[in-house]
Amino acid sequence: MPTPRRGKKKTESRPAAFPPEDGYDLWLRYRAVDAPRLLAQYRKAVPRAAVIGGGETSGIIRDELRRALPSLLDCHTPVTSELAPGPALVAGTAAALAASGMKAVPEACRDLGGEGYRIRTERTGKDARIVIAANTDPAVLRGVFHFLRLLQTRQDIRALKIASRPRIRHRILAHWDNLDGSIERGYAGYSLWQWDDLPTVLADRYRDYARACASVGINGTVLNNVNSQTEILRADYLMKTAALADIFRPYGIRVYLSPNFSAPRELGGLAGNDPRDPAVAWWWREKAEEIYRLIPDFGGFQVKANSEGMPGPKDSGANHDDGANMFARALEGGGGKVLWRAFVYETDIDYDRAKCAYKEFTPLDGRFHPAVFVQVKNGPVDFQPREPFHPLFGSMPRTPLALELQIAQEYLGQSIHLVYLAPMWKEVLESDTYARGAGSKVSAVVDGSLTGRADSAIVGDANTGSDRNWCGHHFGQANWYAFGRLAWDHTLSSEAIAEEWIRATWTNQARAVQAMKKMMLGSWEACVDYMTPLGLNCLVAEGHHYGPDPAFDAAPREDWSNVYYHRADRRGIGFDRSSTGSGAAATYQSPLREQLDDLQRCPEKFLLWFHHVPWDHRMPSGRTLWEELEVHYDRGIAFAEKMTLWWEKVRAEVDPARHRHVAERLAKQLANARFWKKVCLEYFGRFAKGEDEKT
Ligand code: BDP
């Protein structure tokens, strides 16, 4: 059985080929190019660089190139502010480049919008220049990061012809950070924001954070937890927020906040929080204006209301649209947005939690202010290892919907398990909602292309924290990276993103790249297999949400118990959401709803999500359901075993410190996978084999 390296002294005592690393540099390590021919090509193409422009962002771009080029090219590479004859890398806004004599650039940038960029090889005589141009400084910065990625991933740069624009407009990282420095569902230390020190002491890490976000195209950050504390809107906290906003602005990143709905009463001393009360609306408008005075480009509010005990408009008899629209009107003066979360599941709405948001929000379609996004989690329950896409994506055609993904792996082994999430997110994005007939993908709903809407948003609940390597697990960084890359362009494949990330973060050695890619690409399906196969969900232990506890039945609410979800009994297992059960299959559009409704046609991966299935049911494989469950748990474990072996094989290509960190976690992941199988199958087996006494 693969275990960490004990006993294999020979390899261990070999001098390390690479100095130890701590992961702080993320995918921006810029290690020297070790392929001689490419190195020669790069040095020839970029003997120097000129960044045209006098603003703060131009300075940041120069700094980035000064850091990256000498390191990647392993030679002196001047980075200046002026154009000089001869080959060079030239970067600047269209206006700045035109003012320096490159008259054709503005026309060429016409279709790039505010955030797109182009990277072109342009020849004048025998000289070739690589020109990175855009309409705004932050977009030039993104173009420069793109160019550096080409070097980091060893691409041919002799004839570049790249134009890139984001498919989704607001690409937001949301932090569930509390004002005391703790992070809700955070597994990588404490908050990055030093609230006690702000606004006077500004940690270097704030810039490094912004730099990392900008490098993958993220353009917004929600600083505080959705379970918000009212203090965040107090004048002193707004000063702190403004200090962060000032740091992030030159990187093209806007700041958002999660307000608490009861702030008018708690902070403002008003009698209530009813959004229809003019005094309440006035209070929020004043608050928004106060924020805009400090942060003119304030992104807006992300609101969790009437959910899990948070206050909201329903407390005073109003509805979600009243609350969301009140915020939107308050923010009108500065163009801020409202991200109104649809994560609601009060028991009086429906017995089946998977139907609640659908039932609450579909009647409100078309009633929201244009600045409101209804923010919908990828699935209808809660960031489980695998869920079908949320039915709201197919049923609110007149409302912009923001997709909320969780990067933090709350239910997927947190910062211990290596689980690359891009394949999960792609499965959701590629799902067909049938909202306007076949081909109406979730991605087209979210990016607005299905309805011809220009505004669009995607939110990722962050996995970052104060740990030196930012994400707890070195491979957790890949999920932050993948979120940014997919938010920019959801058509990228999981594989392409993984490969970029590996090459920039670990190595370009082909065999090691392949091995790491195999690990990453299979890791999510393996996690589903050893935790919640065949559409099972919510089997984690209460509170910490890490290990298995399928027997848990003692929660104060039925739908906080695990037995509510799996419903194992002598007859079978699974939640009947078909027309003979809760009817949740009917929250999807035809012909998907009929397919999900039909036990024979329901995709196997969602079988127990939609059906209560007899233990002896014959699966397409010919096995019984019970046998199939066993096969899945074993398959997940087998993959976890393989990951430890593949990781061992890349030892020589990776620095010892990071190798060991990952190896230790893989060993724990494998042990956990076995434990999941043991606990779940022992428990379910009591029913399947008729040994339980309860039924
Ligand atoms: C659940 C988390 C809880 C969050 C909630 C939310 O367990 O801590 O507050 O989601 O998204 O997954 O509001």
- Reported as a single tens digit per residue, the pLDDT across 289-302 is 999 999 999 999 99
Distance from the alpha carbon of residue 676 to the mean position of ligand 1, in angstroms:
23
What are the percentages of helix, strand and coil residues in the chain, rounded to 5? 45, 10, 45
Distance from the alpha carbon of residue 450 to the mean position of ligand 1, in angstroms:
29
Q: Is the dihedral of CA 203, 211, 111, 487 positive or negative?
A: negative
Task: Give the C-alpha separation, 95 to 56, whole Å.
Answer: 16
Distance from the alpha carbon of residue 96 to the mean position of ligand 1, in angstroms:
46
Question: Does any ligand 1 atom lie closer than 6 A to the CB of residue 382?
Answer: yes
What is residue 554's three-state secondary structure?
Answer: coil
Distance from the alpha carbon of residue 280 to the mean position of ligand 1, in angstroms:
27
| Per annotation, catalytic residue among 308, 542, 664, 682 | 308
Q: Hey, what are 527's tokens?
A: 């996690």
Q: What is the mean pLDDT of residues 4-13?
A: 45
Question: Does any ligand 1 atom lie closer than 6 A to the CB of residue 227?
Answer: yes
Question: What structural domains and CATH numbers belong to the chain?
Answer: 36-164 (3.30.379.10), 170-505 (3.20.20.80), 529-575+612-688 (3.90.1330.10)
Q: Which one, of 235, 167, 228, lies nearest residue 199 by Cα?
A: 235
Distance from the alpha carbon of residue 410 to the mean position of ligand 1, in angstroms:
9
Distance from the alpha carbon of residue 354 to the mean position of ligand 1, in angstroms:
15
Q: Which one, of 180, 183, 190, 198, lies nearest residue 242 by Cα?
A: 198
Question: Does any ligand 1 atom lie closer than 6 A to the CB of residue 377?
Answer: no
Q: Which amino acid is at 92?
A: G
Q: Which one, of 416, 431, 483, lies nearest residue 175 by Cα?
A: 483
Query: Residue whose CA is closest, atom 12 of ligand 1?
Result: 382
Closest ligand 1 atom, CA of 461? 11
- Average pLDDT of every residue of the chain: 96
Given pLDDT bands bounded at 50, 70 and 90, which one contains residue 18? confident
Q: What is the mean pLDDT of residues 671-689?
A: 97
Question: Does any ligand 1 atom lie closer than 6 A to the CB of residue 304?
Answer: yes
pTM score: 0.96
Question: Does any ligand 1 atom lie closer than 6 A to the CB of residue 595?
Answer: no
Q: Which of 176, 185, 339, 377 to mutate to test the pocket of ligand 1 (most atoms within 8 A of CB)?
A: 185
Q: Is the dihedral of CA 17, 21, 26, 29 positive or negative?
A: negative
Closest ligand 1 atom, CA of 404? 11
Q: What is the mean pLDDT of residues 477-482?
A: 99
Closest ligand 1 atom, CA of 184? 8
Match 């059985």 to its residue by tokens: 1
Say if residue 692's pLDDT is above 90.
no
pLDDT for the residue numbered 98: 96
Say if residue 6's pLDDT is above 70.
no
DSSP 8-state secondary structure symbol assigned to residue 561: S
Q: Indicate if 382 belongs to the active site.
A: yes
Query: Residue whose CA is closest, atom 7 of ligand 1?
Result: 185
Do 419 and 407 form a contact (C-beta atoms < 8 A)? Answer: no
Task: Give the C-alpha separation, 534 to 146, whole Å.
Answer: 39
Say if residue 514's pLDDT is above 70.
yes
Residue 650's H or E segment, with its range, is none
Closest ligand 1 atom, CA of 226? 13
Task: Give the C-alpha separation, 260 to 241, whole Å.
Answer: 16
Question: Does any ligand 1 atom lie closer than 6 A to the CB of residue 411?
Answer: no
Q: What is the mean pLDDT of residues 218-228?
A: 98
Query: Residue whose CA is closest, atom 11 of ligand 1?
Result: 343
pLDDT for the residue numbered 10: 44
Query: Residue whose CA is closest, atom 1 of ligand 1?
Result: 382
Q: Which amino acid is at 233?
A: L
Distance from the alpha carbon of residue 652 to the mean position of ligand 1, in angstroms:
40
Task: Give the C-alpha separation, 538 to 669, whole Å.
Answer: 19
pLDDT digits (tens, 9 = 90+) for 354-398: 999 999 999 999 999 999 999 999 999 999 999 999 999 999 999
Q: What is the mean pLDDT of residues 297-322?
A: 98
Do 362 and 373 form a contact (C-beta atoms < 8 A)? Answer: no
pLDDT for the residue numbered 95: 97
Q: Which one, of 641, 642, 616, lies nearest residue 629 by Cα?
A: 616
Given pLDDT bands bounded at 50, 70 and 90, which one contains residue 16? low
Q: Which amino acid is at 250?
A: P
Q: Indicate if 430 belongs to the active site.
A: no
Q: Which one, of 427, 383, 390, lies nearest residue 407 by Cα?
A: 383
Question: Does any ligand 1 atom lie closer than 6 A to the CB of residue 525?
Answer: no
Task: Give the C-alpha separation, 160 to 147, whole Å.
Answer: 10
Q: Which of 343, 356, 409, 546 to mutate to test the pocket of ligand 1 (most atoms within 8 A of CB)?
A: 343
Given pLDDT bands bounded at 50, 70 and 90, which one contains residue 3? very low
Distance of CA 143 to the CA centre of its chain: 21
pLDDT digits (tens, 9 = 90+) for 24-47: 999 999 999 999 999 999 999 999
Q: Indicate if 74 belongs to the active site.
A: no
pLDDT for the residue numbered 149: 98
What is residue 356's three-state secondary structure?
Answer: helix
Task: Give the residue with greater pLDDT, 17 vs 285.
Answer: 285
Do 670 and 641 form a contact (C-beta atoms < 8 A)? Answer: yes
Say if residue 1's pLDDT is above 60.
no
| Per annotation, catalytic residue among 322, 410, 467, 648 | 410
Angle, helices 510-531 vs 625-649, to 10°: value is 150
Left if phi > 0, otherwise alpha if psi is -120 to 50, otherwise beta: which for 252?
A: left
Question: Does any ligand 1 atom lie closer than 6 A to the CB of residue 345?
Answer: no
Question: Does any ligand 1 atom lie closer than 6 A to the CB of residue 404?
Answer: no
Closest ligand 1 atom, CA of 382? 12
Which neighbouring-strand residues pair with 526?
Answer: none
pLDDT for the residue numbered 510: 96
Which neighbouring-strand residues pair with 340?
Answer: 303, 374
Say if residue 126's pLDDT is above 90.
no
Query: Residue whose CA is closest, atom 9 of ligand 1?
Result: 227
Question: Does any ligand 1 atom lie closer than 6 A to the CB of residue 184?
Answer: yes
CA angle 288, 291, 296 (to 5 degrees): 105
pLDDT for the residue numbered 19: 86
Question: Does any ligand 1 atom lie closer than 6 A to the CB of residue 185?
Answer: yes
Distance from the alpha carbon of residue 227 to the mean position of ligand 1, in angstroms:
8
Query: Residue whose CA is closest, atom 2 of ligand 1?
Result: 185
| Per annotation, catalytic residue among 382, 447, 499, 630 | 382
pLDDT digits (tens, 9 = 90+) for 598-651: 999 999 999 999 999 999 999 999 999 999 999 999 999 999 999 999 999 999
Do 569 and 583 form a contact (C-beta atoms < 8 A)? Answer: no
**91 phi and psi, to 5 degrees?**
-135, 140
Say if residue 695's pLDDT is above 70.
no
Distance from the alpha carbon of residue 186 to the mean position of ligand 1, in angstroms:
11
High-pLDDT (> 70) share of the chain, %? 97
